[in-house]
Structure 1
């Protein structure tokens, strides 16, 4: 038998996922003697569902716009029912939304890029809110420790940059880099270009511009320019001085 407190939270989660009057009656029936006023419990349920709805709208504005208001309302209702709100931090309520969309995509008639777009939007927030501390100084070129690499089968970077305007994202393999800028603390993203990957390789392997130039034939000045530009954007951290 489950401990009483665990059973209470399980049954409360079931009520929050399905706020019909019968669910409230079932909640009280499972806990005889519980004397909390039903009007207050109902109001609490409305608050929790409102928090979930508000968090999803804030975290996934492009998904919401792409699917339209009617489909969005049904998605939020089904997500609330199948993924009860249990985390104390409101924004974390959206953590499972991308996987929920991927699991239910075949039955909803949504565009196939929607789960990938949700994953992108969640990653953008998670990087912004990351607790990873950035060093104030580095001794050598260093990858930004908040960097997340997303492998996706749609060209989402351009779509996100356009804020969902225009045509849907085109199918195609894309490597997206998402990180938090060390000074502005804003999240940045970039489709992984050859220059970006080269500079990251330099940072990871400790290569100098002269060594890369000798190995690739690229002008050293071009390599240094890429390092300067991408360190200014925060993708890599460069020594000061």
Structure 2
């Protein structure tokens, strides 16, 4: 009985976290195909975490390996997982680590996903039977100061600044306007004036 309950909860977690992936699969192959896909995933990856939602961690990679499904659905599942991780991060952890004090830095929740399809745009359109547009893309996922999960397609300048910050490169990471916009969005946190003082002192 307990095992059946846990299995149902894990299945429900997949359905919620990967609602877009489910819509994409069922629109192309029906609900039964989605059911078989989820069952096959849990056979290959039995429950490993006390937090049942964490059992969905490898679902994107699993979907990407299914040759009969469009490859972009794997990227879609990875985006949905990153969004859920940003949304579910402990509030207190983010408040303690992403406060307004200290040097300018990238927020702990920030993740950049690069891919070969515009799955973020596809997800926003909610046209489940349509194919995702092909073409190199990048999406940034983070949790803002209101503790809401966000995702956006950055400009080239924003992407360069974010990836430089994530890599640990010393600032400045971009033009003042770019850095200011990223700070306003909650992608960068800390005190921007700290970065300005460091730049002034080093010049």
Fold in common (TM above 0.5)? yes
Equivalent residue in structure 1 for 2:71, among 112, 117, 121: 112
Work out the CA distance in 1 between the residues paired with 2:104 and 2:56. 34
Structure 1 stretches lacking a partner, 5+ long: 1-42, 213-222
User: Quick one: structure 1 residues 53 and 198, their matched pair in 2 at CA, closer, same or farther if it must change by over 3 Å?
Assistant: closer
How far 1:165 moved relative to its partner? 4.8
The answer on 1:194 being equivalent to 2:156 is yes
**Alignment partner, residue 184 of structure 1:** 146
Q: 8 Å contact 1:140–1:206 — kept in the other structure?
A: no
Q: 8 Å contact 2:98–2:107 — kept in the other structure?
A: no
For residues 1-241 of structure 1, the aligned pairs below 5 Å read 43-68=1-26, 69-103=31-65, 105-106=66-67, 109-131=68-90, 133=94, 134-165=97-128, 167-181=130-144, 183-197=145-159, 199-200=161-162, 205-207=170-172, 212=175, 223-224=176-177, 226-239=178-191
Of structures 1 and 2, the one scoring higher in RCO (CA 8 A, sep 6+) is: 2
How far 1:146 moved relative to its partner? 1.6
How far 1:144 moved relative to its partner? 1.6
Q: Report the TM-score when normalising by structure 1.
A: 0.66
**Aligned residue pairs, count:** 182
Structure 1 residue runs of 4 or more that deviate by more than 6 Å after TM superposition = none
Q: Report the TM-score when normalising by structure 2.
A: 0.77
**Alignment partner, residue 196 of structure 2:** none
Q: Report the structure number with the largest CA radius of gyration.
A: 1
Structure 2 stretches lacking a partner, 5+ long: 194-203
Q: 8 Å contact 2:25–2:34 — kept in the other structure?
A: yes
User: Quick one: structure 1 residues 208 and 121, their matched pair in 2 at CA, closer, same or farther if it must change by over 3 Å?
Assistant: closer
Work out the CA distance in 2 between the residues paired with 1:127 and 1:159. 20
Q: Deviations over 1:173-215 (max 9, x none)?
A: 112211111x211111122312313553786532298xx4xxx
